[in-house]
């Protein structure tokens, strides 16, 4: 039940977060959690507020160090101390906050920390704008506002800048923390299409989402967290939405939960 799809894979997983622990003061934000991800797979991380999803994923994106545990890529242990380390390993992250510098234009944000330079070591703004226009042409063809600072963009446009940044650098592993939170229905559908397209290209995606329907729509497997602990990982095709909700809310696996408890969820 915990690893239903792993039988198909003879290769080691693309990523494995093994027995990760993160504590803030006395609070165990992430407590002995193990999750993994295969190429071309979407694994959804779900759980209530404060379940530890974002903290767990930050250990992979280099924004926060784990107190203990290991991160393995292609079966090899790696050391991720900074966001730069993560990016060097092909891990790109779309943060819930988007992590955009509002005062800088779209190309500047796309290449933040990885600017293209001319042979004289000066910023090559034209080349960066050119690359940005190309990526945006694919992701959001209606986007034309390349010179304005991102503070003047709509929520959806800002989101597409954050997504474009993650996609542009040929990520192997993509972390999406609430990628559709700021979006309307049409834009959400666009992101869903993008996720399917990236999957086709063999990219592994960790998807954090509050929207259980999105999760069922896009994910292959679902890992559920509650109060810092992993409740379990299930194959989407083996479970119902109610069973996943039971995992999220009362922390019981589909086999353990009673009919009465399931009914109470709707009460």
Partner 1 sequence: MSDTRVAERAAEPAAPSRPRRNLAGRLLRATEVDTRLLGMIVALAVIWVIFNIFSGGTFLTARNLWNLSVQTAVVAIMATGMVLVIVSRNIDLSVGSMLGMVGMAIAILQSEILPDWLGFNHWAIWIIAVVVAIALGALVGGFQGFVVAYAGVPSFIVTLGGLLMWRGVAWAMASGRTIAPMDGTFQILGGGARGSIGSRASWLVAILGCLGAIAMLVSARRQRRRFGFPLRPMWAEVTMGASGCGVILASVYVLNHYFKPAGLAEGRTDIAFGIAVPVLITLGVAMAMTFFANRTKFGRYVFAIGGNPEAAELGGINTRWMVVRTFMVMGILVGIAAVVQVARLNAATTGLGTLAELYVIAAAVIGGTSFSGGIGTIPGAVLGALVMQSLQSGMVLIRIEAAYQDIIVGIVLVIAVGIDTVYRRRMTT
C-beta closer to partner 1: residue 147 or 196: 147
Q: How far apart are CA 32 and CA 230, in angstroms?
A: 8
Assess 199 for contact with partner 1 (CB under 8 A). Answer: no
CB 46 within 8 Å of CB 12:
no
Min. distance of Cβ 227 from partner 1 in angstroms? 26
Min. distance of Cβ 124 from partner 1 in angstroms? 9
Assess 181 for contact with partner 1 (CB under 8 A). Answer: no
Q: How far apart are CA 248 and CA 244, in angstroms?
A: 6
CB 107 within 8 Å of CB 128:
yes
Strands 15-24 and 229-235: unpaired
148 vs 45, 116, 128, 130, CA distance in Å?
A: 34, 19, 14, 15
Min. distance of Cβ 133 from partner 1 in angstroms? 8
Q: Which of 47, 108, 228, 251 binds partner 1 (CB under 8 A)?
A: 108
Residue ranges in 13-154 assigned as alpha helix (H): 53-61, 83-88, 106-110, 125-139
Q: Which of 11, 130, 238, 263 binds partner 1 (CB under 8 A)?
A: 130
Assess 254 for contact with partner 1 (CB under 8 A). Answer: no
Q: Which of 51, 89, 95, 143 binds partner 1 (CB under 8 A)?
A: 95
Q: How far apart are CA 243 and CA 255, in angstroms?
A: 9
Applying CB under 8 A, the span of 43-51, 73-81, 95-103, 234-242 interacting with partner 1 comes to: 95-103
Applying CB under 8 A, the residues found at the interface with partner 1 are 61, 63, 82-84, 87, 93, 95, 97-104, 108-109, 112-115, 117, 121-123, 126-127, 129-130, 133, 144, 147, 151-152
């Amino acid at each position: 039940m915990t690893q239903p799809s792993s039988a198909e894979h003879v290769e080691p997983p693309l990523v494995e977060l093994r027995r990760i622990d993160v504590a803030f003061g006395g609070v165990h934000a992430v407590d002995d959690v193990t999750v993994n991800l295969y190429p071309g797979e979407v694994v959804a991380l779900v759980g209530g507020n404060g379940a530890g999803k974002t903290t767990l994923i930050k250990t992979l994106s280099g924004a926060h160090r784990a107190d203990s545990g290991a991160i393995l890529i292609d079966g090899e242990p790696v050391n991720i101390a900074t966001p730069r380390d993560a990016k060097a390993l092909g891990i790109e992250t779309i943060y819930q906050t988007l992590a955009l510098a509002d005062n800088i234009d779209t190309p500047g944000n796309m290449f933040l920390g990885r600017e293209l330079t001319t042979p004289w070591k000066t910023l090559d703004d034209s080349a960066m704008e050119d690359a940005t226009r190309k990526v945006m042409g694919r992701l959001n063809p209606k986007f034309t506002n390349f010179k304005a600072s991102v503070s003047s963009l709509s929520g959806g446009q800002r989101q597409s800048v954050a997504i474009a940044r993650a996609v542009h650098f040929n990520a192997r592993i993509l972390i999406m923390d609430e990628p559709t939170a700021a979006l309307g229905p049409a834009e959400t559908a666009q992101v869903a299409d993008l996720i399917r397209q990236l999957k086709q290209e063999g990219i592994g995606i960790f998807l954090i989402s509050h929207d259980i329907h999105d999760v069922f729509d896009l994910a292959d497997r679902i890992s559920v967290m509650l109060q810092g602990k992993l409740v379990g990982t299930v194959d989407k095709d083996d479970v119902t939405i109610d069973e996943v909700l039971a995992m999220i809310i009362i922390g019981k696996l589909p086999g353990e939960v009673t009919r009465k408890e399931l009914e109470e969820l709707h009460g």
